[in-house]
Structure 1
Amino acid sequence: MKKSLIAIAVLAATSSAAFAQSNVTIYGILDAGITSERGGAAGTVTKVTSGAASASRIGFKGTEDLGGGLSAIFKLEAGVRVDDGTLDNSANRLFNREAYVGISSKTAGTLTIGRQYTPYYEVLRDVADPFGVGYAGTAKNLFPVASYMTRNDNAVVYKTPNLNGFTGALSYSLGETAGDASAQRQVGGSVGYSNGPLNVSLAYNSKNNDTATLKTAGVGHNSMIAANYDFKIVKLYGAFSKDKGLGSAPLNGPATAYGYTFTASQNSNDALIGLTAPVGDTAGTVMASFIRKNDKDVANRDADQWAIGYSYALSKRTSTYVAYAKIKNKNGAGYTVGNNTETGTGDKAFNLGLKHSF
């Protein structure tokens, strides 16, 4: 079945007539390089990595003009691994990154249904993190955006048009638990304002952890404020998140990376400060950040991460990069330094790679 679907996608990619009718665009990112990780129970791990800066992918998106300012839209995006050519997901999904269809209005906004990013994740990626949740310095290492905090299945998402700099998003993900409409339900939203060099956003997410058999698991809540300001010679970033309840801070990395079992916090704060700065002819960009995870559980398992990176644009579509990050775990914390695609194996990591977009 999977081979058949891939074959269909390839045939569609070679059919210019079909594209002319459907206004379909094929796009993607190929990102590959070398990653070296240290400090974990596995020792030094050096490997060819796919998607350290930006996850490698191939996607199909399209629009159809319905008249009256309305358009039908869709998107299908599959994660791939450049190092070995396999699908980039453990669940063996074909379109594991995004898969949705919807209606877009220039005046009323956009409504989409399917597998989509959470508003919380989008604010972290687009407003808060100078690394854009990529490279060794990704905020995903400490901010709670693993698993269901990144994307939702069965999601209905509404996004407003830009109203004098203000934008908003609402997301409702059905838990689809028989006999209990609230179990596994996820709700999120964001409000943002952009004016010249200033970008500010608020984001919220809640996940009901109840199941068909367990009705008392409770709800995990996350709220975040993020901002960046471009001074031209340097762009400053900042973010603060409060995470409360079961499942409010899912681990991005393995729970046993350091030879002991580390459990996720149920009460924590996350703070980030960072910057990007153009270098020389502006083709180069320096990135840096510091993140603190403040665990408020009894164990007080805090962690700090500092990171630095450099990206150089060889052209509009091709760039090379280098990045390094280190985490200091405290009181038995077990966070790892990963990147955009991988979760990491230790408390230090180095990336060197090349990225091409098409």
Structure 2
Amino acid sequence: GYAMLKSLFTFAVLGGSAAAACAQSGVTTYGVLDAGVVGERGCANGCTTKVGSGVASTSRIGIQGSEAIGDTTSAVFGLETELKLDTGRAADRQEREQGRERLEHQAWVGLSGEFGAITIGRQYNLQYLALTDVADPFKGGTAGSATNLIGGPRRTDNSVQYYKTLANGFSAGASWAARDLDTSAAGRAWGMTVGLSSGPLTVRAAHRNQGAVRANLNYKTSNDMTSKNSLLAANLRLGWGTAYAAYSMSRGIASSPLFNPDNPYSVGMARTPSTRSRDVLFGMAVPVSNSVTLLGSYIRKDDRDLANQDANQAAFGASYSVSRRTDFYAAYSHIRNRNGAGYTVGNASAPGSGNKAFNVGMRHAF
């Protein structure tokens, strides 16, 4: 049913995490193939209906594995790159022109054992994982993705991460990243996370600091060149389904989805991002049969800048599982931007162009 599919796709999203690596032996190939139709409305330069790749989960292929190098220690690694099912390429034309043809998702190596796991390379941010794994019923995909309004970049280059599962359902992790192109603070980052899984309740807190380059001198507020994203995420499994909630505090010029250091080329495409906000999410996932699950979420972004560019997102969706690895999905989301805010409805692979979007598609994991 949907619960098994959700676990499979969550595993694929977290395929490069230390926790997943610890469970592997030898070399494993995995992936997700996802394609759908994306219809948008409310675009500044006109909307289109198009075929999209990686709408609910980014289409990707990866390998990961481990080798025992002692009684309790293993060497682990992971490589993961995106696939474009709509064109058959590893990157679209804009990404090729910008020199972004690479292992865009993850590339890391490390050690795991009783001490936990430490990995080095390009990896998912701890704050992003807390949001999508714990608080977002849409798991960071389709039009309902919580990343439309909450958080900053998904991944960080040159990062070192440590993660350990502790006793009694507790877990903890930390990360640090260095800038390798120059000696400025841009790109330098650190983060931490703690979590608890006890019975039907899962709670995780995460914080991230990252240096940023000022791309526009006309920002509404401070000279703060550091983005700070703090998140408290939770879900509670009940008899009728699962309830989700999150509270986020974001500060700094690169703390908004409109300013994404993962893709700095998009800075000039959107309106001025918020530099200080408080965000609240409520959501639910309700199975109505062994195959069908209904999804819904509401997010309020409370912009604390003088411009007060608030935004609200309401999203609804459904998943129909036809096997343990395959499902069909549909989702609709509407963002109400206030006082000139420019947030758009994206999905797992694209930032979107309008304030409304509808998706329908198919996803298969292997």
Does TM-score exceed 0.5, indicating one fold? yes
Taking only aligned residues, the RMSD between alpha carbons, in angstroms, comes to 2.0
TM-score norm. by structure 1 comes to 0.86
Map of 1:277 onto structure 2? 286
Superposition pairs of residues 6-155 of structure 1, within 5 angstroms: 23-88=26-91, 90=95, 91-105=99-113, 107-145=114-152, 149-155=153-159
Letter in 1 for 2:331: A
Whichever of the two has the greater Rg, that structure is: 1
The runs of 5 or more residues in structure 2 that have no matched partner are 1-24, 218-222, 261-265
Distance 1:250 1:355, change over 3 A: closer
Which residue of the partner structure matches residue 318 of structure 2? Answer: 310
Matches within 5 A, 1:242-253: 242-251=249-258
Structure 1 position 246, deviation (Å) = 2.3
Which residue identity lines up with residue 115 of structure 1 in the other structure?
R
Following the alignment from structure 1 to structure 2, what is the Cα–Cα distance between the partners of residues 325 and 233? 23
Correspondence list, 1:139-288, <5 A = 139-145=146-152, 149-176=153-180, 178-179=182-183, 182-209=185-212, 218-251=225-258, 262-280=271-289, 282-288=290-296
**What SS is found at the alignment partner of 1:125?**
helix
- Could you tell me how far 1:95 is from its partner in structure 2? 1.3
Look up the SS of the partner of 2:147 in the other structure: helix
**What TM-score do the two structures reach when normalised by structure 2?**
0.85
Note the C-alpha offset of 1:122.
0.4
Cα distance per residue 1:325-356 (max 9 Å; x no partner):
00001000011001111111101100010001
CA deviations on 1:83-138 (whole Å, 9 max, x unpaired) are 11111472433311000000000x21000000001100000010010100111000
Contact 2:148 2:257 in 1 (8 A): no
Measure, in 1, the Cα distance between the counterparts of 2:126 and 2:182: 26
**How far is 1:210 from its partner?**
5.9
Aligned-residue identity in percent: 44
Residues 210 and 217 in structure 1, CA contact (< 8 A), matched pair in contact too: no
Q: How many residues align?
A: 325
Task: Return 5+ residue gaps in structure 1 as ranges.
Answer: 1-21
Partner deviation per Cα, 1:30-76 (whole Å, 9 max, x = no partner) = 00111100111232310011111000001011111122211111000
Q: Is the 8 A contact 1:174 1:185 kept in 2?
A: yes
CA displacement 1:269-309 (0-9 Å, x = unmatched): 111000001112x2211110000111111110000000000
What is the CA–CA distance in structure 1 between the aligned matches of 2:143 and 2:165, rounded to whole Å?
Answer: 34
Q: Which moved more, 1:157-166 or 1:82-91?
A: 82-91
Q: Secondary structure at the match of 2:128?
A: helix
